[in-house]
Structure 1
Amino acid sequence: RLYDDNGEKQFHSVIVVTDRTVLDDQLQDTIYQFEHQDGVVGRINNKEGDGSKSEKLASALENSQPII
């Protein structure tokens, strides 16, 4: 996490975007391995949770998900 001189976060969220399904799955798994704490990594896919990917992305952005 990156903070400024006042101790404030410089970024509220980091969004990783790809247009390849296989690469997307690999990146999600790799990023998830970095951070095992619940609620840090938001996976936007059709395999987990309810709703469309658009709805999941909107929810992650509204809730300031740290890694999307």
Structure 2
Amino acid sequence: DRLRGICWRVADIDATRARLIAAGVDVSEVRTGRKPGTRVMTVRNGTCGVLTLLVQPSQGKPD
């Protein structure tokens, strides 16, 4: 068995990114997600090799 990846939903991806960078975590730039209206970023270290994505859902529509 193997964990392929994990995704975390965040309310404010820009604030989350700033907090993680301040804590020394290597993260990607924020980019447009595949689902319309979403924004995403990748956590590059401290994940024990598990692909980790942070997603800010689209505004105005529930997921």
TM-score of the aligned structures, taking structure 2 as reference length: 0.34
Bigger radius of gyration? 1
Higher fraction of strand? 2
Higher fraction of helix? 1
TM-score of the aligned structures, taking structure 1 as reference length: 0.33
